[in-house]
């Protein structure tokens, strides 16, 4: 029998290997310290507007970034991924098409709805296979809602003058 002229399998492309590594790491406890911070710009966004989860103070040799909806890094909650070496972006199961990820790790949501409100987790994988995890929060305000606060006066002091 003749041996094939090429290898039997191609192996993983770099971002698939990284995704596999992160999937395995996701089931371990997340580290307690965070080297970077995530800022929501603006802090409170109006429904229909854009909001940026801006990442500050990323350092070290970084392999890639992954954003997830909610707390923690679970593959079924992945939104976006960026492979630093190939400069390739990919989408996860929770991507809606209104997200833009930047090479610095920041994530832009366009035309947000109230469903976008909540926590988002950024996992940063270093070349040493050490990872850092941080959480950012999006607050969405709906100007069309009829939310109001009512105050009832139970007792009025007749001597009080405003």
- DSSP secondary structure of 3-57: PPSS-S-----HHHHHHHHHHHHTTSPPPS--SSEEEEESSEEETTS-EEEEEE-
**Rg of the chain (C-alpha set):** 22
Bridge partners, residue 41, by sequence: 52
Residue 14 — pLDDT band, cuts 50, 70, 90? low
Asked if residue 12 lies in contact with residue 20, where contact means CB atoms within 8 angstroms, the answer is yes
**Percent of the chain scoring above 70 in pLDDT:** 68
Is the bond leading into 81 cis (omega within 30 degrees of zero)? no
What pLDDT, on a 0 to 100 scale, did the predictor assign at position 143?
81
Residue 20 — pLDDT band, cuts 50, 70, 90? low
| Residue in 116, 64, 111 with CA at minimum distance from that of residue 94 | 116
Residue 119 — pLDDT band, cuts 50, 70, 90? very high
Domains and CATH numbers, the chain: 36-141 (2.60.40.10)
Residue 8 — pLDDT band, cuts 50, 70, 90? very low
């Amino acid at each position: 029998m003749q041996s094939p002229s090429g290898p039997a399998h191609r192996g993983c492309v770099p971002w698939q290997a990284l995704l596999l590594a992160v999937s395995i790491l996701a089931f371990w406890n997340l580290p307690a310290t965070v080297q970077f911070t995530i800022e929501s710009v603006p802090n409170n966004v109006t429904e229909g507007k854009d909001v940026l989860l801006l990442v500050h103070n990323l350092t070290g040799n970084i392999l890639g970034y992954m954003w997830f909806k909610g707390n923690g890094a679970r593959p079924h909650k992945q939104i976006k991924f960026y492979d630093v070496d190939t400069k390739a972006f990919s989408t996860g199961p929770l991507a809606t098409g209104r997200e833009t990820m930047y090479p610095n790790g920041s994530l832009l949501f366009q035309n947000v709805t109230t469903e976008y409100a909540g926590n988002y987790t950024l996992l940063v994988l270093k070349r040493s296979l050490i990872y850092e995890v941080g959480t950012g929060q999006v607050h969405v305000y709906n100007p069309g809602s009829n939310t109001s606060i009512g105050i009832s006066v139970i007792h009025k002091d007749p001597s009080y003058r405003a």
